[in-house]
Structure 1
Amino acid sequence: MHSSINGVAEEPSAMDLDDEQLEFQAIAENKHEDQDEIDPFIKFINYASSIISPQPDDVDEDGEPSSDTEEREREGPGWSWIASRVLKTCISYSSGVTSAILLSELSQAWNEQRKTNAPRKRPDCINQLKKKHKRVKLPSTVTIDTIYEKNFLSLNSVLEAVVVDTFVLPGTNINMITLGDFWSSNTIDLYLHRRYYDLVSLHNGILRKGREVFLTGCYLRSANEGSGHPRLLPTEYLVILLDEEQDDDAMLLGAQFCTDSFSSISLDGANEGVSYSLYARIDSIGSLDILEKFGGIQRKQIRLIDNDCSEMDFLLWGDQVVLANLFSVGSMLAIDRPFITSSSVTDVETCGNVCLEYGSGTQLYLVPFVRQGEQVCLGLTPNRLRGSKLATASCPTQGPKASQMTLPCDPQGSVDFSNYPIQSYIIDLHEKMTGISIYGAAMDIFREANTAKPIFNLKIQDPTGAICVKLHFIESWSLGRLSLGHTVYISGLTCTMTKHKRLEALWFENGPGTSFVNLSCLPAVLNSPCLHKPSFLADISRHKSGTHQICRVWLDQIEHCHVNTRLAHVSCGHFVKTTTSGYVECEFCCCSCETKTRRTFHVKITLADETGKVFAWCTGQTAIELLQISPDEFYELPEEEQVMYPCSLENEQYMVAIVNCGQQETVFKECVTAENDAIPWEITRALKL
């Protein structure tokens, strides 16, 4: 045996390892974390803060931030605001998140919050265009205000919009466009489809402030599916409007679209990769065809006439037919890089042997048919793209450095820290602080005796100290399973001084800005590399007590595995016991729960990786994931099959979260002992690989 079953193992010898394992062990020896190394979750929050918040470089003659700099630093979101929304996103994306997803959600939520607080006013670029706007709406046009009112957008709907802003989501390469229209006071953000990314170039991009566009085929991400206001998901079906009377547009049309004509198109050349840019008038828009012999696919046929009076058909297939909603007879259509195909292949009667189609690289420009005298004024100032800022916090105290800032204070003198720009540590807490958030580990928890209402005392510890948090629930415990060593995030705390002159924090279940998240049991953390740093089993004892570690392991020594089923309280997930009077009681909640129990696992098993082995225990959903069977199904198996069942799991690989639950002196001792049987390691979450 290479290791002790009751703790972290001795490392195996090199003779017992293959080349791949030796390489892994070498990595492990060089990856021992320093006790003071920053927690990956905190590191990401600080990084996100540096990305989203303004990072001015202005300093005065003494090297200190100028007054203007201090003022701009207050424009960014508070540390707890970022942390809460990161965790909210993790809960929504249980399969895991990426840095880009999180930064996208944070940036969007912050921008929307700022928009909500700002007075609604139609952008000046739209007001300038509106004075000369005489074009009649297309038949399927909807307004942005209507989208907000109905929280709905049909795929066939058309948006006749004006680009108000273009920007890159901070920390990502995701391009966004803010759109307005002539009839709405609201604007809406669109995730730009990647086929148009080259059109938002800082120097020569045509998609810029003041540019009119038509778009359709949009999916709406409504507000109840995420944070803040609705936004539009990427659509391929976007047409850029041009004006032949404007010099820039006339030059674009002349340089790019007036060289090729329908008569110059060669099918052989197209097959060899020659691309064409064509300019023609829309002569007719055919009705919707349903081709039953091709599986019921939809088709639209657009008849075009170029400057040489040659005719050609532009075909739209399947979902592409919605593009026809953007066209009107008499308008001029510029088609860049159409897909060229033979009319015999398309099985359609055409005016020639060649047809145009909307291909994966095709881009469309439109000069709408307008009444005499209509002019479209384009914006004169190209929008400036906001680039990514790369910043990494290297210690827990780093973050936005606000030399001074004013926080709101109520009549009783309590100061609201909900928008404080940096993380609050326990050592910094004092009386009359509200809106506090704490990130730390649960060292002890128990229900207060002799109280009618459910009040629990939680001792939470961070790198600077510990504090007692009094949790007030409306009816009963509602936070799921929480035990010793679990890493938690709590927001909406109020600090007060007890009659014994001891500082404590108060938390009320439905209080303003309150949240409680157990990160050790959060599924998304296991599958989100930006929020954790994988550890080796040989290293986990070196980490600070109470910090969960993520490890890639397999199940080992199955002959020593212990699998039992027990009854647990549904509300808190802890085991129940039957009293001498015959009542079923939860020791954690200190209440009778005869009808509120469910069968759960109590598993003790050996985990192994290339560096060692650990004997650990688990229960609840974690045990179900490890054993790949429900407790009720396992309970129904014959006793012989229950004994043999774990053997089928040997060497199965998992990503697991492990916490040290055995180093705390706790009032909760009897219940804890019943769960861990003095085994110091708990598997709080598992994901099969």
Structure 2
Amino acid sequence: MTDHEASAMEVERRHWKPQECSGGEREVAVEEEEDPFLQFIEYAKSVLSPDGNGSGDDPKGPSWRWIASRILKTCIAYSSGVTSAILLSDLFQAWNELNKSGAPKKQSECIFQLKKKHKRAKLPSTVTIDSIYEKKFLSLNSVIEAVIIDTYILPGTNIYMLHLGDFWSSNTIDLYLHRRFYSLADQKNGILKKGREVFLTGCRLRTATGGSGHARLLPTEYLVILLDEDQNDDAMLLLAQFCEDNFSAISLSDVNRGVSYSLRGGIKSITSLEVQGKYGSLQRKQIDLVDHEGVSSKFLLWGEQVLLANLFSVGSTLALDRPFISSSTDCAVETSQECCLEYGTATQLYLVPFVQNEEQVSLALTQNHNKGPKLSRALDPSQGLVVSQVFLPCDSQGSIDFSDYPFRSFVVDLREKMTGISLYGIVSDITSTQEPVLSVKIQDVTGAVWARLHFARSWSLGRLGLGHTIYISGLMCSVGTGKSLELRWVENDVGASFINISCLPALLNSSCLHKLSCLSDLSAEPTGTRVCRVWLDQIEHCHVTVRLSHTSCGYFLDDGSSEDLKCNFCQRKCNAELAQNFHLKITLADESGKLFAWCTGQTAVELLQITPDEFCELPEEEQIMYPSSLEHETFKVALVSCRKKVEGLVDQDHDTIAWEITRAMKCE
């Protein structure tokens, strides 16, 4: 166990005490500051932040989004439940690894000099050389942002090696250079020399075994050379090699005669596509480029080549030496240009990375929303540190990235040109539009907002219902045609996630993330997810049916032709994605009262302790008698208020029942 982990567990042992049910004297309305999940985030933030709260004009601690996402990631990994010690240990380790700076005294002088002017943000999939040695593992989609410390030839061979370091590590590592780059590694005239920055992906690690020496990186075709326009040599290279040709001058007839081109353009967008072919699907990335004349072109990556897109960022300038040029018709791309660019066997890529500007953002008072004395302290300089503003990265279109915003964002805080937004709230409405897009209304204590969810192919979030508590990150905010704010979420975007906390398997077994409520405490108003310890009561009124449901979203199907069944929720034809599912209505009871609720899916299976298929195999008499065997069985359940009806989406059999059981666990 590391010192950080031990420290985290000690803090947890001394200070963190989950709250339990306080009886019927509590107010019916649940105040959001009592939410154990939000409480734990604030607690973890205070432990991880060097100044105790992660605030100030230059916050050093993790952002609210980072902590929330990491906690939920750990909950998903530990589906049987987590403790505060597990969460704190994971947070400490992950935050320490993310911010590890290495030992500067061991770094090469060329890295030390480059580090002084290094302002570029890390790419999303970047790993450090130190972490490669620690984990003894490297995934293919990992990015290495390296600096060449030396280029040499292995003695007795003609194999080129690059000795690499990075800005965050004290260790270095050697790379077997792929032969397609040998012409660039010439010791006299090559560009791959000491002090040159490169981006790598698609790397495989050859670990050291026995007496074979140090770990090394095996050759990769996916290497991009970084250029700095402030350096004379790089500026001359760009001017001499990449300014003569432009996208409008490309001629397919010249290409067929063997003419090659050297082109460059700014990256405007990067999109993921999947092409369905005769022998299956093929992944494709499309990078939209615009040259200095304003002419656009598309640079396509196919199959394993899509890894290269990990090295690009919108706003950067990409220079392509000898790209493969194909007809846009052959590529099945809709474009006004007759041709598309591809990564061919002779192609070399150079990148002038986009350096994000930072914009000063005033902090909204909602960072202290509903926190009583804390709000007064933030506004009164005599009471402590005044938090007024932070600096956040701003892209070339003026959109501000809120991924690292130190505080939680609320609906009322949303403004035009915000990206990387994270929201925590409840689902207050759902509107079906067209596959694969669906609109969800997200509500928190400050208001509600509609978000359009764009899925890669089809609905992939599992069951989502009214009143469910959700966490969503990677939202983009813009102003629509009606001058109203519009939120958009794209499933495959970097940093995009959607987690239904109400249905999280770890929820009921994680006492640090919930507190037990009494049934008499519950309000029919949608106020989030409540956890109660109950028994099954009034079994004579229990109603059990088995119906067809769509496995992707969990919603029941309306009666219709068996040849063309369509899910009303996610708008998909689902003949091949059907399953028998329980629809259960049952009375829950505890010492404070009773409550009538419904459930479906695995929750109903947990309560009935039998699968739908097994239930259907029972004789009709046994099906009728079966629920009576469950009377007074004790469970821990998660409950949400779902009383609002959305036409065409809420099942007519339970749209008058105010409560849904989203998770259930039998108490021994």
- Structure 1 partner of 2:618: 637
Q: Which residue of 1 aligns with 2:662?
A: 684
Specify which structure has the bigger relative contact order, considering alpha-carbon pairs within 8 angstroms and separated by 6 or more residues.
Answer: 1
Cα-to-partner distance string for 1:272-329 (whole Å, 9 max, x where unaligned): xxxxxxxxxxxxxxxxxxxxxxxxxxxxxxxxxxxxxxxxxxxxxxxxxxxxxxxxxx
Q: In the alignment, does 2:559 pair up with 1:578?
A: yes
Q: For residues 581 and 495 of structure 1, do their structure 2 counterparts lie closer, same or farther at Cα, with a shift above 3 Å needed?
A: same
1:501 to 469, 483, 506: 483
Corresponding residue number in structure 2 for 1:536 = 518
C-alpha separation in 2, matches of 1:97 and 1:423: 23
* Corresponding position of 2:599: 618
Which residue is equivalent to 1:646? 627
1:112 matched to 2:97? The reply is yes
CA–CA distance in structure 1, aligned partners of residues 625 and 633 of structure 2:
16
Write out per-residue CA displacement over residues 628-677 of structure 1, whole angstroms, 9 at most, x where no aligned residue: 11111111111111111111111111110011101x253xx233033524
Q: 1:557 to 1:517 in 2, by over 3 A?
A: same
Give the letter aligned to residue 91 of structure 1.
I
Q: Partner letter of residue 417 of structure 1?
A: F
Give yes or no for contact 1:586–1:593 (8 Å, CA) kept in 2: yes
Counterpart amino acid of residue 28 in structure 1: G
Which residue is 2:394 aligned to? 409
Residue in 2 aligned with 1:314? none
Partner of 1:100: 85
User: Which position in structure 2 is the counterpart of 1:660?
Assistant: 641
Unaligned runs of 5+ in 2: 1-19, 108-128, 139-168, 173-367, 379-384
Matched, 1:550 2:525: no
Judging changes above 3 Å, is the alpha-carbon distance between structure 1 residues 644 and 420 closer, same or farther for their aligned structure 2 residues? same
Which residue of structure 2 lines up, in the alignment, with residue 559 of structure 1?
540
Instruction: Give the whole-Å Cα distance in 2 for the aligned partners of 1:531 and 1:186.
Output: 39
* 8 A Cα contact 1:122 1:186, kept in partner: no
Instruction: Tell me the amino acid that sits aligned with residue 514 of structure 1.
Output: A
Letter in 1 for 2:544: V
* Superposed displacement of residue 474, structure 1: 1.0
Are 1:521 and 2:503 counterparts? yes
Using the TM superposition, give the Cα deviation of residue 500 of structure 1 relative to its aligned residue in structure 2, in angstroms.
0.8
Determine the structure 2 residue equivalent to 1:49: 45
Shift of the 535–579 alpha-carbon distance from structure 1 to 2, 3 Å rule, reads: same
After superposition, give the CA deviation of every residue in 1:199-257 in whole Å (9 maximum; x if it has no partner): xxxxxxxxxxxxxxxxxxxxxxxxxxxxxxxxxxxxxxxxxxxxxxxxxxxxxxxxxxx
Q: What runs of 5+ residues in structure 1 fail to find an aligned partner?
A: 1-24, 58-64, 125-142, 153-183, 188-391
Give secondary structure in 2 for the equivalent of 1:629. coil
Match of 1:587 among 563, 568, 571: 568
Q: Is the 8 A contact 2:440 2:450 kept in 1?
A: yes
Tell whether the 8 Å contact from 1:562 to 1:605 is kept in structure 2 after alignment. Answer: yes
Give the Å deviation of 1:546.
Answer: 4.1
State which of 422, 431, 447 in structure 2 corresponds to 1:446.
Answer: 431
- The aligned amino acid for 1:681 is W
Paired residues for 1:243-642 under 5 Å? 395=371, 402-449=387-434, 453-541=435-523, 544-579=525-560, 583-642=564-623
User: What is the rounded CA distance, in whole Å, between the counterparts of 2:661 and 2:29 in structure 1?
Assistant: 23
Shift of 1:531: 1.0
In 2, the alpha carbon distance for the partners of 1:26 and 1:409 equals 45
Report if aligned partners of 2:79, 2:505 keep a CA contact under 8 Å in 1: yes
Structure 1 residues 145 and 647: alpha-carbon distance in aligned structure 2, compared to 1, 3 A threshold: closer
| Per-residue CA distance 1:415-462 (angstroms, 9 max, x = gap) | 11110111000001011001100001111112214xxx5110111100
Q: Partners in 2 of 1:185 and 1:487 — Cα distance?
A: 43
Per the TM alignment, residue 144 of structure 1 is displaced from its structure 2 partner at its CA by 8.8
| Counterpart AA for 1:422 | F
In 2: Cα distance, 1:623 partner to 1:592 partner: 25
Which residue does the alignment assign to 1:672? Answer: 650
| Contact 1:616–1:683 (8 Å) recurs in 2 | yes
Give deviations 1:315-364, integer Å, cap 9, x for gaps. xxxxxxxxxxxxxxxxxxxxxxxxxxxxxxxxxxxxxxxxxxxxxxxxxx
| 2:411 maps to amino acid | I
Asked whether the 8 Å contact 2:24–2:520 carries over to 1, the reply is no
Report the AA paired with residue 395 of structure 1: K
Distance 1:525 1:556 in 2: 24
In 2, Cα distance between equivalents of 1:463 and 1:149: 42
* 3-state SS, counterpart of residue 589 of structure 1: coil
Specify the code of the residue in structure 1 equivalent to 2:65: S
In the superposition, relative to structure 1, how do residues 149 and 604 fare at CA in structure 2: closer, same or farther (>3 Å)? closer
- The answer to which of 27-36 and 392-401 deviates more is 392-401
The answer as to whether partners of 2:477 and 2:485 remain within 8 angstroms in 1 is yes
Shift of 1:32: 3.9
Check 1:91–1:26 CA distance in 2 against 1; reply closer, same or farther (3 A cut): closer
Could you tell me how far apart the structure 2 residues matched to 1:82 and 1:145 are?
A: 21
Distance 1:406 1:602, change over 3 A: same
Q: Which residue of 1 aligns with 2:24?
A: 29
**Alpha-carbon contact 1:459-1:468 (below 8 Å) kept:** yes
Render the CA deviation track for 1:156-191: whole Å, top value 9, x for unaligned: xxxxxxxxxxxxxxxxxxxxxxxxxxxx9459xxxx
Equivalenced residues, count: 392
Displacement of 1:576 in angstroms is: 1.1
Deviation at 1:393, TM superposition (A): 11
- SS of match in other structure, 2:87: helix
Distance 2:569 2:64 in 1: 32
Distance in 2, matches of 1:499 and 1:123, equals 56
User: What is the SS of the residue equivalent to 1:594?
Assistant: coil
CA distance in 2, matches of 1:145, 1:109: 11
Alpha-carbon spacing, 1:50–1:145, altered in 2? closer, same or farther (3 Å)? closer
2:75 maps to 90
Return the offset for 1:678. Answer: 1.3
Q: Flag the structure with larger Rg.
A: 1
Counterparts of 2:417 and 2:136 in 1: how far apart (Å)?
43
Tell me which amino acid in the other structure corresponds to 1:70.
G
Contact (CA 8 Å) 1:578, 1:585: kept in 2 or not?
no
SS of the residue corresponding to residue 412 of structure 2 reads: helix
Judge conservation of contact 2:28–2:523 (CA < 8 Å) in 1. no
Rounded Cα–Cα distance in structure 1 between residues aligned with 2:639 and 2:573 = 31
The CA deviation string for residues 373-408 of structure 1, in whole angstroms up to 9 with x for no partner, is: xxxxxxxxxxxxxxxxxxx99829879964321100
Aligned: 1:77 with 2:95: no
Percent sequence identity is: 54
Shift, 1:151, TM fit: 3.9
CA distance in 2, matches of 1:502, 1:92: 39
Q: Give the AA of the match of 1:679.
A: I
Question: Structure 1 residues 146 and 564 mapped into 2: Cα distance closer, same or farther (>3 Å)?
Answer: closer
Counterparts of 1:27 and 1:52, CA distance in 2 = 30
Give how far 1:589 is off.
1.4
